[in-house]
Amino acid sequence: MDYQRYRRSKLSGCIILLVNVVGWVLALGQSGICSSILAIFDQDNQTYRWDNSLDYIYAPKSQFSFALEGKMQSTLIKKSLISGGANQWQEDRSGRGKLIYDFSPRLGLTTEFFQGYNALGNRRINDSEIIGGVSYSPRQWVSLEYGLGGMISSRAEPMGRRVDRGAKMAWKGQFSPRIAWADDF
């Protein structure tokens, strides 16, 4: 049983690492219309944080485009000098990929994948999602998306393992007033 949990945890970590490595390689290329890499170290009092993130969007002149996003955060919470205790590490990793196929400038199909991992002490959480959807842009300054999909969340806690499965529905609307009022000037 412990071996299966270990294997799933390593598989989740490998998927997230793969998304991040592929994204880093693509971000260094010049084919992306938007790419960013961020690395931060932050310290306050007894807390140390390391943050890394990557965003990459590739949209050639064809109807197909994709986006990758990867985030990793490690936090070390040092033991208190007054109350004692032990040092604690918190790990957060996530990878997201989105594929978009536009039938026309107004209508398209989307597929989104997400894999996340969170660990603090003995608690481990793995989240996986897949969502398929439709995007509609009646005007250049407004876009609407609707998606349906499934998700699985597994938690490894001191009292045992728990798996939750469910459906996911998402609505997203976006309004860009700068573009909407650009014709007025």
In the chain, the DSSP E strands lie at 34-44, 47-58, 64-77, 88-102, 107-120, 123-139, 142-157, 160-175
Tokens 């026309």 sit at which residue? 104
Burial of residue 75 (number of CB atoms within 10 Å: 0-12, 13-18, 19+): middle
d(CA 118, CA 130): 18
Taking 70 as the pLDDT cut, the residues of the chain under it are: 1-34, 178-185
pLDDT of residue 130: 95
What's the confidence (pLDDT) of residue 64? 86
Domain boundaries, the chain: 2-184
Quote the pLDDT of residue 184.
46
pLDDT of residue 158: 72
Each residue's pLDDT tens digit, 43-83: 887 888 888 888 888 877 778 888 888 898 988 888 777 77
Residue 136 in tokens: 């509609």
Residue 10 has a CB neighbour count (10 Å cut-off) of 10
pLDDT of residue 129: 95
Q: Which pTM value belongs to this model?
A: 0.69
- 152 contacts 128 by C-beta, under 8 angstroms: yes
